[in-house]
Structure formats: structure tokens, C-alpha cells
Amino acid sequence: MHNPPYDDLRNRRKFLFNSGRLLVMLSSFSLLAGACTNNDDRENRLADLVIEQGKIVLDLNESRYHALNTIGSGLKIEITRQEKPLIVTRVSETRIAAFSSQCTHAGYEVLLPEHGILVCSSGHGGAFDLEGRVVNGPARSNLPNYETQLIDNRVHIVYPSR
Ligand code: FES
């Protein structure tokens, strides 16, 4: 037997219940989409870099790497969002150095060189030279470095792939 007001109430409840389920499904989907975006970002960052035979290659004729044409200068290269950037410095006419920007004292990021010295951003007083070697504590260990070669104005960095 039909009871119109009762049916109407039941239909409304059903509608609200289904709408709620739809909302939950939509928000789960957007969370998943967010996770995919992060992965895509990671791949995009790696794709920004030129990799040849497993080495990162920086062409110093490209404007984004021009800082490396000046002795005493440096730049940071972001490999992924998950790790602190790599610091690359011009040590001499023939030498380029590459090392982690993660301070060996407490993990803060090390800043780019000024007057040949790279200061830790923590304010603890740690400082490093253009090769990432400690010149002032409390950091006791040098910054982990990576082998480099400078060939025809292109820097080749042996950076382990993750
Ligand atoms: S974290 Fe760099 S000196 Fe403390």
C-alpha cells in the first residue's frame, strides 16, 4: 500500500545517502589524482635534465647553466622533489665540482657560494669550500660529492639513479 509522504521521505533519504557516497568517491579519486601528479612531477623533473650514458650532462652554453662559466660561482640542480638539490660549482678553469646540498651536521640546506664559501642555512655556523669540504663546524664531514668531468664546455656528473 502506498503512503506518498512516507515514500517521499524514503526517496529523499536514499538520494542523500547516494549523494554522500558519490562525494566520498569523488574525494578519494582526487586524492589518487594528487598522488599521480606527484609521480608525474618527479618524472618531469628528471626529464628536464639531459642524461647521457647514466650521467647528468649540463651544457654550459645554455643560459640556465651560465653561472658555471664563472670561477667561484655555482648553481643548484633539483633532481627530485624528495631530495635536497645538487650543488654544482666552478672551482677552476678546468674543474667543476658537484655535491649534495644537505648539510652533514643536521641536514639543513647549504647555500650557494659567496666569495668561495658555501654557508649552511641553519645558522649553526657550518661552512664549506667550493668542493664541499668543511671549512667551519659544527659539521665534521664533507658534503657527499659526485664525480664530474668537463668536456667541450659540457659537465658530466656521475649521479646515482634512484
Ligand atoms: S645543519 Fe649545517 S651546520 Fe648545522
140 and 83 both lie in a single domain: yes
More confident residue, 106 or 16: 106
- Calculate what percentage of the chain has a pLDDT beyond 70: 70
State whether 149 and 99 are in the same domain. yes
pTM tops 0.85? no
Ligand 1: centre distance to CA 138 (Å): 7
Cβ count within 10 A of residue 46: 15
Shared-domain flag, residues 23 and 56: no
Burial of 117 (0-12, 13-18, 19+ CB in 10 A): middle
Q: Could you tell me how far CA 84 lies from the centroid of its own chain?
A: 6
Residues in contact with ligand 1 (CB, 6 Å cut-off): 103, 105-106, 108, 120, 122, 124, 126, 138-139
Same domain, 56 and 84: yes
Q: Which amino acid residue places its CA nearest to atom 3 of ligand 1?
A: 126
User: Are 39 and 109 members of one domain?
Assistant: no
Pair 29, 73 in one domain = no
Tell me the residue range of the domain where 41 lies: 1-48
**What whole-number distance in Å separates Cα of residue 99 and Cα of residue 87?**
5
Locate the ligand 1 atom nearest the alpha carbon of residue 108 and give its number. Answer: 1
Examine the domain organization and report whether 43 and 54 are in the same domain.
Answer: no
39 has a pLDDT exceeding 80: no
**Residue whose C-alpha is closest to residue 105's, from 156, 52, 142, 160:** 142
The total of structural domains in the chain comes to 2
Assess whether pLDDT exceeds 80 at residue 59.
yes
Using the predicted structure, report yes or no on whether residue 24 has a pLDDT greater than 60.
Answer: no
User: How many Å lie between the centroid of ligand 1 and the Cα of residue 89?
Assistant: 20
**Cα 146 to ligand 1 centroid, rounded to whole Å:** 21
